[in-house]
Structures are given as C-alpha cells and as structure tokens.
Amino acid sequence: MMNIVVTALIILLLSMREKEVKLERMWLMPVIVAIAIFSSISQGPVTGLTLLLYTLFLVIGCAIGIWRAWMERLRVDPATGKVMSKGSMGTALVLIIIMLLKHYVSTLDVHHSVVSLSNALLFIPLGSIAARRVLVYMRIRQMQGSNV
C-alpha cells in the first residue's frame, strides 16, 4: 500500500510542475507503454471478449487523453521561446483513480476474466497518453503557426 501512496505523490508532483515540451520526443512514451502492454497481454489467451474489452478501454483512455490535453495549460516562454506545459489537479486525480482501480482488480481472484479485465485496464493509460500527446502536438503546431 505504501508504494501506491508514493506513486500517487509522484504522479501529483510530476503533473503539477511546469515542464518544457519537446516535440521530437513526444512519440517515445506511447511506444514504450504500448510495447510493455503488448508484452504483458501476449502471455494470456486472446478471445473475442478480451479484444472487445481492450478496444473499449482504449476508447475510454483516448477520451480521457483528449480531456487531459484540453485541461493542460500551454504557454510560450517569452525569454527562451520554448513551449511549456503544466497539467491540472483533476487530470492527476483521474490517473490515480485508474491506478487504484487496476490495483484493486489485480488483488481479486486469478480467474481468467479477472486477469482479462486487469489487462484491459492497461489500455486506459495507453489511450490517454497517446491521445493527449497527439492533441498537445497539434495545439503546439497551431501555436507555432500563429506566432510565425
């Protein structure tokens, strides 16, 4: 339980600090998360129901990512010209709730349906990260286009 509290604090601290957005690295995290998820789910059987769950949770994750992208504050630093972003408390809390839900489901029985649900919950962060980064990328490109 202590590791969950520490992870939640790290999520809050990292999402609330202002950081520079590096466009050339935005694709890296979704790829790493996708590789980790697909290596995790490849160990179990994939059925039609699990594919449906994966797709459903990916869509839910994308919706959360779109919401997170619009809640994120972007600004151009006047001194350096770099684009800076800062998350909101609401989006950090959503990530913590998803993490707690995933932890709760993983403590349940080791039955196939529970494992499938636990694996499907991994697609929420994947969709969220990917959709958020795509929209932030588009917003930054739009900001850079209007400043030229």
Listing DSSP states for 82-110 in one string gives -EEEE--HHHHHHHHHHHHHHHHHHTS--
The rounded distance, in Å, linking the Cα atoms of 45 and 26 is 32
Which pLDDT does position 133 carry in this prediction? Answer: 92
Express each pLDDT in 21-37 by its tens digit. Answer: 888 888 998 999 899 88
Q: Where are the domains of the chain?
A: 47-146
CA 96 vs CA 11, 35, 40, 119, 135: distances in Å: 7, 22, 21, 17, 22
Quote the pTM value: 0.77
pLDDT of 112 strictly over 60: no
Which pLDDT does position 111 carry in this prediction? Answer: 60
Express each pLDDT in 50-84 by its tens digit. Answer: 899 999 999 999 999 999 898 888 888 888 888 89
Residue 19, H or E segment: strand 19-20
